[in-house]
Amino acid sequence: MTDRTLKDRAAIVGVGATPYYRRGRSLPQTPLDLAIKATLAALDDAGLGADDVDGFALYGGAFVDTSLLAQILGIPEVRFTAGLTGGGGGSAGSIGLAAAAVATGMADVVVSVLTLQQAHMRFGASFAPRSKGGAGAYSAPSTPESVFASNSGLMAPGQMFAMLVQRHMHLYGTTRDHLAEVAISTRNNAITRETSLMRDPLTREQYFDARMISEPFGLYDYCMECDGAVAVITTTPERAKDLRHPPVQVMGSAAGGAGRWGQAITWMGMPDEYFTSSGHRPIAKRVYEMAGVGPADVDVALFYDHFTGMVLLQLEDYGFCGIGESGPFVAEGNIRWPEGTLPVNTHGGNLSEAYIIGMTHVKEAVEQLRGTAVNQVPDADIALVTGGPASIPVSALLLHR
């Protein structure tokens, strides 16, 4: 009987990206153009070509469909195509989906790609009623469920996650200084990278002087609204052996969450015991179990960082500190590169490099484990990548070299 695990049964062999752009500045390219450029770059990085591809494993916000991608790329035969449901919470999990396809023999070379162009929509108010924003600039149609939130003016992800962090502050004494530490340490990592959209240092004074958006989140607690695409190529361990780079092995992946986490930020009815969480606790447990490791084994963590506070809650949910202790944990410098005990978002994250819905985190994990990262963690063996906090699913990926 085969072990029911993904551990060491798939490898990432290629990563590629377009340049990253501020919202709308990727025009006149189309989202499909961006997806294809990133895919071809990732294939080239692997030493493969479009003729080798036979699978696609995407996630909810991919904004591109396999049918058109395969047609335009001239893929000889698509043997597997699937996407995780939900939104950005599936980013890390889409690689797990690709790994599942190659581990079960459904496909050999699987593309995971995310393309994003916000010229005609804005994630910054993504739950605002489409009819009220004008010109289709806001994305969500009202539903019988969503109006229970939007009728109060709660219609933007930043406002919604602010609710979770506000309560965390109330329960545990977390402060905006702790949020600032996430923003500043992440910015420090972006400064050295040519790919980053934010390359100026961020001071504590700038953080606190910036405009408040939705308390307790101010301007620098938010990620950016960006355009761009990132692609990742997953294949079998056998195929991975003689490609361009040393393979990065999948140790484990999980996607989902507790059922009553549910729609999370858009319903606010999550059970009290994990309201002030990232929704990741069940995922953390499963991905560590599959990989056979624990938090002490992780050398670098790439946390989905749409908002500073949600990095804090993931540090707790993945066991790097106790529940409620993430504020003091970051204040001690633990997440800083290179000196911290757990360098976090060494690429500058969604906050300061670019927001491509979490896929830049997968790319960075691969570069860290190849030893080619711009902000290299010495001898990095194991990397953790997360997708979301979001509604179900949130996801995780553990990789090793």
DSSP string, 336-376: -TTTSSS-B-TT-IIIII--STTHHHHHHHHHHHHT--TTP
Does residue 20 have an active-site annotation?
no
Minimum distance, C-beta of residue 205 to other proteins, in the bound complex (Å): 19
Minimum distance, C-beta of residue 219 to other proteins, in the bound complex (Å): 8
- CA pair distance 195, 211, nearest whole angstrom: 26
Amino acid at 29: Q
User: For other proteins, which is the closer residue by CB, 142 or 195?
Assistant: 142
User: Which of 78, 191, 213, 323 is in the footprint of other proteins by CB under 8 A?
Assistant: 213
User: For other proteins, which is the closer residue by CB, 106 or 210?
Assistant: 210
Interface with other proteins, residue 209, by CB under 8 A: no
Interface with other proteins, residue 267, by CB under 8 A: yes
User: Which of 159, 174, 235, 334 is in the footprint of other proteins by CB under 8 A?
Assistant: 159
Dihedral sign for Cα 5, 11, 16, 20, please: positive
Minimum distance, C-beta of residue 352 to other proteins, in the bound complex (Å): 20
User: Which of 9, 25, 79, 167 is in the footprint of other proteins by CB under 8 A?
Assistant: 167
What DSSP character marks residue 88?
A: G
Interface with other proteins, residue 24, by CB under 8 A: no
Interface with other proteins, residue 328, by CB under 8 A: no
Encoded one letter per residue, x for contact with other proteins by CB under 8 A and - for no contact, window 99-128 reads: -------------------------xx--x
Give the three-class secondary structure for 251.
strand
Q: Exposed, middle or buried: residue 295 (CB in 10 Å: 0-12, 13-18, 19+)?
A: middle
User: Which of 20, 56, 63, 138 is in the footprint of other proteins by CB under 8 A?
Assistant: 138
The backbone torsions φ and ψ at residue 134, rounded to the nearest 5 degrees and listed phi first, read 80, 135
Minimum distance, C-beta of residue 117 to other proteins, in the bound complex (Å): 20
Minimum distance, C-beta of residue 119 to other proteins, in the bound complex (Å): 17
Largest CA-CA distance found in the chain, in angstroms, rounded: 61
Q: How far is CA 101 from CA 176, 367, 401, in A?
A: 43, 23, 21
Other Cβ atoms less than 10 A from the Cβ of 122: the count is: 17
Minimum distance, C-beta of residue 170 to other proteins, in the bound complex (Å): 4
Does residue 274 have an active-site annotation?
no
Q: How far is CA 216 from CA 12, 213, 222, in A?
A: 38, 8, 11
User: For other proteins, which is the closer residue by CB, 72 or 219?
Assistant: 219
Q: How far is CA 30 from CA 33, 91, 192, 284, 300, in A?
A: 5, 21, 29, 36, 34
Interface with other proteins, residue 389, by CB under 8 A: no
Of 80-88, 101-109, 271-279, 369-377: span binding other proteins (CB under 8 A): 271-279
Q: How far is CA 307 from CA 159, 161, 182, 278, in A?
A: 10, 8, 9, 11
User: Which active-site residues does the annotation give?
Assistant: 304, 355
In the complex, the residues that contact other proteins under the rule CB under 8 A are 124-125, 128-129, 132-134, 137-138, 142-156, 158-159, 162-164, 166-167, 170, 211-217, 260, 267-269, 271-272, 275
